[in-house]
Structure 1
Amino acid sequence: MFAFKLLLSLSLVLAASATPAPVPKNPSFALGNGEAAQDLNASFEKLSQSSKCKAGQNACIDGKFVQCVDGKFTAGVSCGEDLQCVALPLVNSKGTSITCDRVADAKQRIANTGAKGGLTGKKVKRGTPTAPPACKNKGKRSFLELAFGKRIAQSDLGDVAESWQKLCLESGGDIQTNSPCVTLAGINGINSLLANADPCDQQKNADAMVKFAKSKGVKNKDALIANAKAYREHPRNALNIGGITPSTPFCQEEAEEPEIRGLVNKQLDGVDPGIFGGPKFDLVAFGASGTCPFGKKSNVKTCTCE
């Protein structure tokens, strides 16, 4: 039944796609609609398959149409060749719609409202934040007194995944249900360390690792938990964005497993200690939400988390 509803929803958005971009008839709400669509498209860039959602919520993830069911987004449904899921401004009334369209047509429809900056408005709205002076003076290697990794482009992610998978296969536990040895290693394990991952994905995966370690039949519990803790502290990838390589945001939720609580991802050597963000996150200066680990407050005068 749900599959039918999802296909029906997708058929409706497809029916509205690939049509000429109309010029709004009522300029009194046109600009607001255009900017609202840009805000939605910008918010979609921050979503991942593991992002929290509300029942009935529709969204776009990686250009695919998704719906929220039981607090989780469904697997994305492709819009079709040359089309992608986007938010568009309504033409005859206030509001927006989520549909499938050609990117060029979507940009034109938004531009017709008077909104500047394409699909997301980033060229207009998104500037480069200024890091607090203390962060600039503190230097990149001592930031937050966290150890730094050696590379911006990490080459050891495969080794990280393999170390967990090897221990898991030797555990004696249930390695068939949900395929934990592969899922928590080479799939979720690596994906959670990428620059575009949700800030809490890594912590959630570490929690799942510990839960497996405590499950029935596991013989190497201590080794698995030690591996999960090391994984939780592993740096995430950092990418250059407009000439800045920002620090990766911290998770703002408490870990479920006590062994993981208080552990945070380290920052790679070379990232900007005063600027945080990523491919799916706006760049923000130290002091904003996500620039300190859960439970800590930022002190911009000293560029530390207390």
Structure 2
Amino acid sequence: MDKFKTIALFMSTIETGSFSATAKKHSTDPSTVSKAIKRLEEQLGLQLLYRSTRQLSLTSAGQKYADTVGSLYQQLESCEQELKSDNNSYSGALKINLPVSYGRMYMLPMLSQFKKAYPEIQLDVSFNDHYVDMISDAVDVSIRSGTLNDSRLVAQKLSPMPFVLCSSKDLISTREFVISNKVLAALPWVLFRFKQTGKTMPINFSYQGRTINFEPEKVTIVDDGEAMAQMCAEGLGLSLMPHFTAKALVVAGKMKVVAKLDDFPNAGVFIVYPKRKDLPKRMQVFIEFVKNYLKEIGESPSQTWLDTWEIPSEITGA
């Protein structure tokens, strides 16, 4: 039996005045209570209780011990109750980490709605595309895109992560446009550079089962997904980007999807949180709020807005 449980039995025995009443209170039997307190006395090398057939009473050492541990026990009980109450209430701090483009484009409107629905939940939100160790950084919930391999985390898929080839409305004509290394290499490109590595995302993808892989000569390089999409829309070049980066400009008619690329295996957008029992209510409600919000805007674990968007049928591989 652990020390805290033994102290709880000791304090209850003082309060009730008998082993049997304490046993009833803690759903056990009197002999278990008596043996637990006896072991406590043996560990301390002190007699805490005078025992007689009619009553129990504290020794002087028992009184001093009770005064000290009683205060600590009450503090621990109070702390436990406070923690349980906090865990079961729609309040408290929630530390959230979001990728930059997805966070700004998809999550910012949702965060505003969530805060209005749950004003007592304090949001602490960071936006970055660097790897974040959720355990060491004490992050409660994160949105991650791509593929995941951290076994310490629970990941629920929010949507697939299809990539699209995009262009400004005037850069190319989609009529009879052929996707091939030769044709694409002759056009200007806006490429994305990863801040964490300094490397530029290569043009290497599969389209209709064919591999496209080349290095363009005319390039503009940028390390921000939204800026890349905006430059693409303004005619600086073709761009490859995930569906969530393209959506706003495509839906607004400022940029067009030239082609949807073949899916990347196991890639997706995930909501992620550390493995733990009894998730706080604030985490549970946030996770459900995110999923419901995405459902309202046409995203689910099996589809994105691209599934209902008309992509030019003239595009071919060659």
TM-score, L = length of structure 2: 0.29
Question: Which of the pair is proportionally richer in helix?
Answer: 2
Structure with higher Rg: it is: 2
Structure number with the bigger relative contact order (C-alpha 8 A, sep ≥ 6) is 2
TM-score (norm 1): 0.30
Give the structure with the higher percent strand.
2
